[in-house]
Amino acid sequence: MAPSHLSVREMREDEKPLVLEMLKAGVKDTENRVALHALTRPPALLLLAAASSGLRFVLASFALALLLPVFLAVAAMKLGLRARWGSLPPPGGLGGPWVAVRSSGDVCGVLALAPGSSAGDGARVTRLSVSRWHRRRGVGRRLLAFAESRARAWAGGMGEPRARLVVPVAVAAWGVAGMLEGCGYQAEGSWGCMGYTLVREFSKDL
């Protein structure tokens, strides 16, 4: 499917259930890799070992004491990722959410944008997900190009000194990171836990 066969428009209310399922599926594709990355860092392993040692004095089963902290940590991380990226944000100053639609009418991607937290920060992508059946067909790039055009228009309307777009990417989403770097974005920041990166932020001056 070539990008020319795609259009981007605001999401209709009747498309909301489909879009939510698309977002949840996108989170599920990365949450296990993010959890594995986070929980195999030395500080996390040390905390899990300490928790297991403590539980051995409470629980009769050694296996249960060993597995319970891991299970709870993975569950907490997955719930956090789903709460952050698996839902639709309220409409912001840049409009949307937006959906990518094939010429057949099938919704194959979703995008949401929000202004930066302070003047000069530009716009931020808060949601970007492509249906697993339409990946590697130009949908992500088409949504990214649309996001850039919206960010430029918003910056001009707000009198911002420059147009800028920031895209957060989970550390395990190497395909998305590669697409952004190929489109001229640069990794400029990150956030995580215990000194280890979970999400990288890519930005581009437009």
Average pLDDT over residues 70-83: 76
The whole-angstrom separation of Cα 40 and Cα 42 is: 6
In this structure, is residue 32 part of a structural domain? no
Residues 75 and 95 in one domain: no
Residues 91 and 151 in one domain: yes
The whole-angstrom separation of Cα 135 and Cα 74 is: 27
Q: Which amino acid is at 9?
A: R
Residues 96 and 166 in one domain: yes
Lowest-confidence range among 49-63, 137-151, 162-176, 183-197? 183-197
Residues 95 and 45 in one domain: no
Residues 107 and 13 in one domain: yes
Range of the domain at 48: 40-83
Residue 2: predicted pLDDT: 46
Of 55-69, 88-102, 121-135, the range with the highest mean pLDDT is 121-135
Residues 20 and 51 in one domain: no
In this structure, is residue 2 part of a structural domain? no
Residues 107 and 133 in one domain: yes
Work out the angle at residue 114's Cα, subtended by the Cα atoms of residues 38 and 160, and round it to the nearest 5 degrees.
Answer: 120
Residues 68 and 97 in one domain: no
30: left (phi over 0), alpha (psi -120 to 50) or beta: alpha
Instruction: Tell me whether strands 107-115 and 98-102 are parallel, antiparallel or unpaired.
Output: antiparallel
Residue 192: predicted pLDDT: 64
Average pLDDT over residues 191-204: 76
